[in-house]
Chains A and B, each alone.
Chain A
Amino acid sequence: MFENLKIMYHQGKQYIPDVTSVEVPGIFRGRPVITSAPADEVFLRDLCPTNAISLAPFSIDLGKCTFCGECARAFPDKIRFTKEYKISTNIRERLVIREGDINTIEVDSTRVRKEIHSFFGGSLKLRQVSAGGDNSVEWELNACSNVNFDMGRFGIEFVASPRHADGIVITGPITVNMAEALQITYDAIPEPKIIILAGTDAISGGIFLDSPAIDRRFLDTHKPDLYIPGNPVHPLTFINGVLGLIRKRK
């Protein structure tokens, strides 16, 4: 008992006081900025492993980007990854960054279903389903609930049963072998419910897009409410993204 208290004393306060404004350490690659500097754009398009870079106009799609940073290393004057981790949105097109885009990526609250604010504004229980996820996003989603990030303070939690959940968080590119289980889990969640795609693989299929082992038809019939880019998603990206979705902007 005293040993436990001693450890608690030594640990002190570990939580991040403000997860909406804290600066992340190191050289985190978040929202990129593209300048008008000249660069071999065709080379950059061909360099990208997941075809996230398009020409005319030159752009990077964060739904496809693996955040490997190779493009920024090849042409540092053209592309720079900032440490901005707030890159989640409910509008897929907002993930496409063009030359000169410097604004924060946000949830468009006018296009959020009304019941999301009224039902889930103060509390949101989520059921996660890994459908070919490589366990990196899964580790980071677990980290959201640890004592550092402490997502529970906002009433956002992962739950075991889909019956207790208000929404589903999908990770991974959605494999053929997991497609049915994903549908069953989604169907088991009571209405109203939300769908969150977490990570590059979930949003676009990532590097696995062309594989015959992938079946993304679930997304043809179900519209996601939130896209959270990252490879894997950073816990701060996840928490801020979900808060942006469920809370009304004042």
Chain B
Amino acid sequence: MNYLSIKNHQSVPVDTIPESEYHSFLIGNIKLMEGNVDRHCVNYFGMRDGKDIRLFCCVADDSAHTIMLTSCRVDAKSNLESFSALNLNFEKFEREIHENFGISYSNHPWLKPVRYSTSRSDAGSGMMTYPFFGIDSEELHEVGVGPVHAGVIEPGHFRFICNGEQILHLEIQLGYQHRGVEQLFLEKKKLLQRATLAENIAGDSVIGHTTAFSYLWESLAGLEVSDDVLFARTLAQEIERTAIHTGDLSAICTDIAYQLGSSVFGRLRTPVINYFQEWCGNRLSKSLIRPGRTPYPYTEYLAGRLIEVFDAFEPDFDEMIEQTLKLPSVLSRLERTGVLTYQQVLEIGTVGMSARMHSLERDIRTSHPYGLYPLLDHNPIVKHHGDVHSRARIRREEVKQSISYLRSLVTKIPNETHYDPTAISNMPLKPDTFALSMTEGWRGEICHVAITDSRGELALYKIKDPSFHNWLALALSVRNNEISDFPICNKSFDLSYCGHDL
């Protein structure tokens, strides 16, 4: 099987992506990844092409810093051998292809609905008909939670099968948040509308998703942005990471009823997101990142304020996290809770923190660097136990690491460039082109793919939030835990519902 190697944020003519016959496409891609932990599938999707479905597979090689593209044309009514039977990384991608196009798989282990998208092939199915895995036992019982949860969070349904207090199995049904984002990307023609969509994919990962969209659009438009744009994106990404990680530490403390940690981390997040407001007028950084430009110039004053904010933040954060991770009552809840083994992490193909929690170094900032990350000499934080404690400690160290990056970044502010937003908005996109863009959001690898048609209009827009990989990790991590530990497991992953449901 031939493949085409591209770099992150690169665009290529669609017809240069090699097309293979399905069996060699399947075996070829499985072989690409076999026994190589540096390779995983970053996107695998279908696109209607006349009567056929054209499947595109994107496998990233982290050590070679490339993405290997392959494709295959199949009939929508075909019954195919599944990738997932040989490599579980493809599990959800194939479910999505099945849901959207009706392609059936003869040996998929778990061919269930993904999100009940409006364009699904089986319109008769719906949220209320989800085929849960059932039990027929006198001893076991089921617990259903959601879609509306106890806290102020997004909706999803969790179905547990328990033996007494012990969880034997968890199945997660998502899709409640489906808003048709990918389709809207094609229908909304104005650049500002698309940027607005990008920042609404997941409102807690505004920088991650808008940055991925922006690089993608610039690649399709053939636009090179200047240093001040790269600077703003890199800086904003690390501020977002700091803010959300701190908020998550607060939520972890809440779920183990450690009131002091909950309050202190909760309030420590405030000055960080207020800093976003000082910079761009929005606490969650909406409107800060735009394709082709940076609407809010970064000034010496803002740099000074950043140092002030983090000079005040760090001593309080250090004191609180040290105390939290030293308390026996905290440790007894975090250690050995929600464990995934290295083997499971590999099989699922988790990304971001959910990979780094167990010895798997996956971080787009080093593997497919972009923005100013090559200058930062980033070294991913990796832990080795795969439990809630590992995930909490990753957050602690990533907060410290991000702050050190922020401090070094603001010592050299690039000169401001003048932009013409109208001229940028009117730039045409290259016709018949495929582009792929990855960024490392605070959750992990975000991947956007776009394909244009012969007129340079978007023909496909595909979004993959890291949660798309990682939800399965949560479901497996809670097995054999007490059901009372579920909230803390859930919070330690902190996955996105809307980023998954789109």
- Chain A residues with CB under 8 Å of chain B are 3-4, 6-8, 10-11, 14, 24-29, 47, 49-50, 66-70, 73-74, 81, 127-143, 146-148, 158, 160, 162, 172-173, 175-178, 180-181, 185, 201, 206-208, 210-214, 231-232, 234
Contacts and interface: CB of A to CB of B under 8 A. Distances in A.
Contacts of B323: 3-4, 7
Given A4-B260, A69-B287, A175-B176, A134 B201 contact: yes
Contacts of B277: 24-28
Contacts of B128: 180
A200 to B, nearest CB: 10
B178 A70 contact: no
B347 interface: no
B274 A26 contact: yes
Contacts of B177: 130, 132-133, 172, 175, 177-178
A160 B151 contact: yes
Nearest to B276: A26
**Interface range, B side:** 35 or more
B176 A181 contact: yes
Contacts of B179: 132, 172-173, 175, 208, 211, 213-214
A69 B288 CA distance: 10
Contact of B152 (A4, A49, A50, A138): A138
B118 A137 contact: no
B267 A148 contact: yes
A176 B118 contact: yes
Contacts of B151: 142, 158, 160
Contacts of B316: 10-11
Interface stretch (B48-56, B161-169, B183-191): B183-191
Contacts of A137: 203
Main secondary structure of the interface of A (DSSP, over half): mixed
Interface in B106-120: 115-118
A177 B178 contact: yes
Nearest to B502: A213
A80 to B, nearest CB: 12
Interface in B323-352: 323
A107 to B, nearest CB: 23
Contact of A134 (B115, B127, B202, B281): B202
A48 B127 CA distance: 34
Contacts of A10: 315-316, 319
Contacts of A212: 118, 180, 183
A177 B176 contact: yes
B295 interface: yes
B299 to A, nearest CB: 12
Given A7-B320, A69-B287, A135-B202, A27 B176 contact: no
Contacts of B264: 7, 11
Contacts of B431: none
A201 B196 CA distance: 12
5 contacts: A7-B320, A27-B278, A28-B281, A132-B179, A135-B498
B16 interface: no
B474 interface: no
Contact of A147 (B117, B176, B267): B267
A8 B323 CA distance: 12
Closest 8 CB pairs of A and B: A136-B203, A26-B278, A134-B203, A213-B180, A160-B150, A211-B180, A26-B277, A49-B193
Nearest to B191: A49
B498 A25 contact: no
Interface in B163-217: 175-180, 183-184, 187-188, 190, 192-193, 195-197, 200-204, 206
Contact of A139 (B247, B263, B319): B247
A135 B155 CA distance: 10
A23 B204 CA distance: 25
B180 A70 contact: no
B282 A208 contact: no
B200 A73 contact: no
Contacts of B160: none
B266 interface: yes
A229 to B, nearest CB: 13
B394 interface: no
B207 to A, nearest CB: 12
Contact of A207 (B118, B176, B200, B269): B200
B292 to A, nearest CB: 13
A247 B349 CA distance: 53
Contacts of A201: 200
A190 to B, nearest CB: 16
A176 B127 CA distance: 9
Nearest to A15: B267
A4 B264 CA distance: 11
Interface in B25-81: none
Given A27-B280, A73-B295, A146 B267 contact: yes
Contacts of B178: 132, 175-177, 213
Nearest to A27: B281
